[in-house]
């Protein structure tokens, strides 16, 4: 892209540069022939103008020497709008330059054993580790602040979300509160869940931003591109819970043993938001596997060999999450989780192959 713009500028400016060079040619030739004549001529011609300028500027120079702070402050006030406009215009270009440098900086690679040995023996390395812990704390604080802002922003539409979540049981009219503060607790719980859904991409960005300095440029870019997918996958898991699981689970739960169930807002919305949260969290599994494979912690071969053990673990997790004891609803939870596991194996192959190609290119460049 840089070469394209450079060539485009040269093509546009070529006629003007040619005309300027033709007009300047005789003057350049005379200056080479008589190098001392033209500076002297310029001093003679410009003398009246320089004299007038110095006469006019003399009182201002005297005042500036007497009151330098006043004139410096006056200059800052007068130039502030222009500097503000300049900084606003320059901000995206500066941000792009910093982001480009951040994404394309190669990290310093050291074996894990050397790092552990330095932690034990080197005081500077231990100090650096505590600095990283402090940086992680700041990332977590920013994520919590954004989560709080998202929760407060969700207050404006939480009532509509509550009405929408109550549709599987026939609306809010079918719920009966028995405590004075029960509806307030429901409102806050749904607002918290809505804020989490909104803030998931930023929370993922903060964790990526913490880990990015230790990643290769290609890994950083892939991780940055995967941040929007974190929100999409989480929302997809919540949508799967609402549109697939709840319509099959609620009739079974509310009519078990033929006993009529009086639904309370607190128990119902705790059940719905908790289920949507955990299923949404499990839908992030492919992204986690892809990231771990991209940095070389997990290999796709190991995931493919241990698929039976993974199915057993998924079965146990589905049994713990599923709100009912019947195999139908448990199967509804297991099916997408197993599908996500095999999808994770495919993504792991892609990430691992990309890492191998990158290492091969680096080895080839090193040998050359």
Give the DSSP per-residue string, 211-244: HGGGS-HHHHHHHHHHHHHHHHHHHHHHHHIIII
Q: What is the pLDDT of residue 85?
A: 92
The share of the chain scoring above pLDDT 70, in percent, equals 85
Report residue 278's pLDDT band, with 50, 70 and 90 as the boundaries.
confident
Report residue 193's pLDDT band, with 50, 70 and 90 as the boundaries.
confident
The set of residues, in sequence order, having a beta carbon less than 8 Å from that of 189 and lying 6+ positions away, is 269, 270, 273
pLDDT in tens, 63-79: 878 888 888 888 888 88
Average pLDDT of 195-204?
A: 87
pLDDT in tens, 136-184: 888 889 999 999 999 999 888 888 888 888 888 777 777 777 777 778 8
Q: What is the pLDDT of residue 73?
A: 86
Burial of 322 (0-12, 13-18, 19+ CB in 10 A): buried
State how far the Cα of 246 lies from the Cα of 167, in Å rounded to an integer.
10
Q: What is the pLDDT of residue 146?
A: 92
Provide the mean pLDDT of the chain: 80
Average pLDDT of 18-41?
A: 81
The residue extents of the domains of the chain are: 114-236
Q: Does 112 have pLDDT greater than 60?
A: no
Q: What is the pLDDT of residue 89?
A: 92
Average pLDDT of 123-147?
A: 81
Average pLDDT of 244-252?
A: 77
Q: Does 254 have pLDDT greater than 90?
A: no
pTM: 0.66
Q: Does 201 have pLDDT greater than 60?
A: yes
Contact assessment for residue 283 and residue 233, using Cβ atoms and an 8 Å cutoff: yes
pLDDT in tens, 286-329: 887 877 777 667 777 787 887 788 888 888 877 777 655 667 66
Average pLDDT of 270-297?
A: 80
State how far the Cα of 199 lies from the Cα of 211, in Å rounded to an integer.
19
pLDDT in tens, 204-240: 888 888 877 777 777 777 778 778 888 888 888 888 8
Average pLDDT of 4-8?
A: 72
Q: Does 88 have pLDDT greater than 90?
A: yes
Burial of 58 (0-12, 13-18, 19+ CB in 10 A): exposed
Q: What is the pLDDT of residue 114?
A: 58
Q: Does 348 have pLDDT greater than 90?
A: no
Q: What is the pLDDT of residue 84?
A: 92
Q: What is the pLDDT of residue 362?
A: 65
Tell which residue, 335, 231, 234, 349, has the closest CA to residue 290.
349
Burial of 112 (0-12, 13-18, 19+ CB in 10 A): exposed
């Amino acid at each position: 892209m840089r070469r394209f713009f450079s060539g485009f500028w040269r093509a546009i400016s070529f006629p003007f540069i040619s005309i300027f060079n033709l007009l300047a040619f005789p003057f350049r030739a005379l200056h080479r022939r008589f190098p001392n004549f033209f500076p002297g001529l310029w001093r003679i011609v410009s003398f009246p103008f320089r004299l007038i300028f110095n006469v006019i500027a003399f009182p201002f120079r005297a005042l500036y020497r007497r009151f330098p702070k006043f004139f410096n402050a006056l200059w800052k006030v007068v130039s502030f709008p222009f500097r503000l406009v300049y900084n606003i215009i320059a901000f995206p270009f500066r941000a792009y330059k910093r982001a480009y440098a951040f994404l394309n900086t190669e990290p310093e690679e050291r074996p894990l054993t050397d790092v552990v040995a330095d932690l034990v023996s080197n005081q500077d390395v231990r100090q650096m580790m505590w600095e990283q812990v402090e940086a992680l704390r700041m990332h977590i604080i920013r994520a919590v602040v954004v989560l709080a802002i998202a929760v407060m922003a969700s207050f404006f539409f939480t009532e509509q979300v509550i009405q929408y979540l109550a549709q599987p049981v026939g609306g809010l009219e079918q719920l009966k509160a028995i405590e004075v503060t029960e509806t307030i607790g429901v409102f806050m719980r749904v607002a918290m869940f809505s804020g989490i859904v909104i803030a998931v991409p930023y929370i993922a960005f903060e964790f990526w931003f913490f880990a990015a300095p230790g990643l290769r440029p290609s890994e950083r870019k892939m991780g940055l591109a995967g941040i929007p997918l974190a929100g999409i996958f989480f929302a997809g898991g919540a949508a799967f819970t609402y549109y697939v699981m709840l319509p099959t689970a609620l009739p079974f739960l509310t009519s078990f043993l033929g006993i009529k169930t009086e639904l309370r807002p607190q128990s119902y919305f705790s059940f719905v938001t908790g289920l949507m949260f955990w299923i949404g969290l499990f839908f992030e599994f492919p992204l986690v596997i892809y990231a771990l494979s991209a940095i070389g912690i997990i290999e796709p071969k190991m995931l493919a060999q241990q698929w039976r053990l993974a199915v057993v673990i998924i079965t146990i997790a589905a049994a713990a999450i599923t709100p009912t004891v019947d195999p139908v609803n448990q199967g509804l939870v297991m099916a997408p989780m197993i599908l996500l596991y095999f999808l994770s194996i495919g993504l792991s192959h892609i990430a691992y192959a990309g890492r191998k190609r990158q290492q091969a290119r680096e080895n080839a460049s090193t040998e050359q």
